[in-house]
Amino acid sequence: MERLLTHIESPEDLKKLTLDELPKLAQELREFIIDIVSTKEGHLGASLGVVELTIALHYVFNTPVDKLIWDVGHQAYGHKILTGRKEIFETNRQLGGISGFPKRSESKYDDFGTGHSSTSISAILGMAMASKLKGDFKKQHIAVVGDASIASGMAFEGLNHLGVTQVNALIVLNDNAIGIDPSVGALKKYLTNVKAGTAKDENIFECLNLNYTGPIDGHDVKALVAELERLKHVDGPKLLHIITTKGKGLKQAEEDQVVYHAPGKFDKITGERLKKSGQLQPPKYQDVFGHTIVELAQKNEKIVGITPAMPSGSSLKFMMDQMPDRAFDVGIAEQHAVTLAAGMATQGLVPFCNIYSTFLQRAYDQVIHDVALQKLPVIFCLDRAGLVGQDGPTHHGVFDMAFLRCIPNLIVFAPMNEMELRNIMYTAQLGLDKPIAIRYPRGRGATIDWKNDFEPIEIGKARCLKKGSKIAILTIGHMGNGISKLIESLDTPEAVGLYDMRFVKPLDEDLLRTIFNSYQHIVTVEDGAKMGGFGSAVLEFANEERLTKPIKIFGVPDQFVEQGTIPETHKLAGMDFDTIHSYIQSTLDQCE
């Protein structure tokens, strides 16, 4: 039997189908997503959960004239496939391919870029208000937001404003009780009671002046079409509450929703994840953090852990499992996480606030006003710092050194390996008189035997790893491991010195003076933005000291780096092994 999906290149093709054909299309769309993601990897469970909703929205509404925003965008794969990207969907998240998230420059059907959560309500309200100001009262405006995302502060800010407007906007609440990890908080309990029919008399969304409908079955495509058709003719702000199952249609994805959010490669028939090489490998930095905080907390009862909705991704889950009363998932609420940590610090606790670098951007004022200004010793552990690979520019954690370095009273540290991460965590919990940010990358470290005995690190002190005579390479963080191997491959490795600077702030100025006096050329290497980052700090020091040695900075240039593997993104940024090697070798040749 010929497949329906074969003939669908746009929502116009979708509208030619009968209502009775839509369930078959849903099955085919699920199979297509599973088929591609099983071999190419990506986000699976979220898109499987909204297949019927995706079909119904494009069937009922006149996209792209009507505006449609997918919050976060993890669930937008079906949307991309139905809007002209089916043939190139296998390039998803790859270098030169389509983005894993909605992206305005990629398609006229992607009305807003959504790599971070909880922005859709504000954005769709802005679009709806623009339509109203232009006198266009027919255009529809729809935002799909999950139950984890709608609990975020920004989403509530949007709902609070939406309720006092009379714009033509529909919020579809996709309630599956999970974001990446299970949803948390009082709103989750409320939604659970709504589904069970035991909620209190007042409806929270109606109290916010939204026309509420639901909850309805989000996997009944015919019922969705009928309800969306009705809502299309209802004026004012509306909220449709649908119940879905994340991972719907793949047994393993339904049963293990956390792992199958982004499962890697798997067997598309059985759903079993493909086993990776049994070769012994260094641990992931996130796991070093997770095991180390448990180890420290067992001896220091003042230690607490906080993460905004990423307990598995950050490995704080280890502490949550072993010490549930001292480790907190606060939901998608980065601002709250930072100020909660600040409040705890005022009372003598030792808070480890564990946030992805890209998400700390969402709590910048809290870092300045609530933590640094008050010199509260919060320990920020910034996971996924640097270029992160296939998630692309919405998730690259490249700005933290630049935006944190300018904040007074804040220490900024980047460990070169697992032992340094453990040692700085140990040092920080011994007691600092100011906050510290510890940044480490996505992925694995450099050492198999990494569980060292703890040793304190002197604040502001770097390490000389190798002395040289002509070129000094100053590295910050994990990049130093690759540079160490690079030096070995040079024609005259003895001419090159290597320094693990460790602290972006405060800089080891005594060592820097020695380096500038001992070498002809200085090279800095960082997995972060060149503008305002570690290399900039070295330049500023040289300028203040009136040191005139040439300084070459390798880092992320003044551009957003697209997605690709981490080595591919390093090459895009001009900071890959070959580029740095060529520069060092040619500079050495000129020194002869």
Q: Please write the tens of the pLDDT for every residue from 472-501.
A: 999 999 999 999 999 999 999 999 999 999
Lowest mean pLDDT among 124-133, 260-269, 340-349: 260-269
The pLDDT score that the predictor gives to residue 1 is 63
The 10 Å CB-count burial string (b at 16+, else e) for 521-548 is bbbbbbbbbbebbbbbbbeebbeeeebe
DSSP H helical ranges for 323-372: 334-346, 357-360, 364-365
**Helices 221-231 and 51-60 meet at what angle, rounded to 10?**
40
The pLDDT score that the predictor gives to residue 177 is 83
pLDDT, tens digit, 9 for 90 and up, residues 194-207: 888 888 778 899 99
3-state secondary structure of 38: helix
Which residues are documented as binding site for Mg(2+)?
Answer: 147, 176
Q: Is 546 a catalytic residue?
A: no
Q: Which of 86, 238, 362, 442 is catalytic?
A: 362
Name the strand (E) or helix (H) holding 24.
helix 22-40
The DSSP bridge pattern shows strands 379-383 and 350-356 to be parallel
Lowest mean pLDDT among 11-15, 178-182, 546-550, 565-569: 178-182
Q: Which of 67, 85, 93, 246 is catalytic?
A: 246
pLDDT, tens digit, 9 for 90 and up, residues 414-465: 999 999 999 999 999 999 999 999 999 999 999 999 998 999 999 999 999 9
Q: How far from each other are the two terminal CA atoms of the chain, in whole angstroms?
A: 73
Q: Residue written as tokens 């300028």? A: 543
- Band (pLDDT 50/70/90 cuts) for residue 590 is confident
In DSSP terms, 329 is beta-bridged to: 307
Q: Residue written as tokens 């997605």? A: 563
Average pLDDT over residues 10-24: 96
Q: Which of 52, 334, 526, 568 is catalytic?
A: 334
DSSP H helical ranges for 260-372: 285-299, 311-314, 317-322, 334-346, 357-360, 364-365
Cα of 328 vs its chain's centroid, Å: 19
Which residues are documented as binding site?
Answer: 74, 115-117, 147-149, 176, 334
Per-residue HEC secondary structure of 206-241 comes to HHCCCEEEEEEECCCHHHHHHHHHHHCCCCCCEEEE
- Look up residue 104 and give its two tokens: 């305005």
Q: Is 334 a catalytic residue?
A: yes
CB neighbours of 104 closer than 8 A, spacing ≥ 6?
A: 110, 111, 112, 113
Q: What is the DSSP letter of 267?
A: -
Q: Is 362 a catalytic residue?
A: yes
pLDDT, tens digit, 9 for 90 and up, residues 38-70: 888 888 889 999 999 999 999 999 999 999 999
